[in-house]
Amino acid sequence: MTRSPARSGSDPALIRQIFGARLRKARHAAGMTIKELAEAAGTGWPHLSRIEHGYVNVTVDTMYALAKAVGLDLHVTLRRPASSARKATSRRPAKPHKRVYAKP
Looking at residue 12, which CATH number applies to its domain?
1.10.260.40
Residue 1 located in a structural domain: no
Residue 48 located in a structural domain: yes
Residue 53 located in a structural domain: yes
As for how many domains the chain has, the answer is 1
Residue 50 located in a structural domain: yes
Q: What is the pLDDT of residue 75?
A: 80
User: Percentage of the chain with pLDDT > 90?
Assistant: 52
Cα–Cα nearest to 35, from 45, 43, 25: 45
Q: Which domain holds residue 55?
A: 7-79
- Is there a contact between 6 and 13 (Cβ–Cβ < 8 Å)? no
Residue 93 located in a structural domain: no
Q: How many angstroms separate the CA atoms of 31 and 95, rounded?
A: 43
Which residues of the chain are under the pLDDT cut of 70? 1-10, 81-104
Q: What is the pLDDT of residue 70?
A: 94
Residue 86 located in a structural domain: no
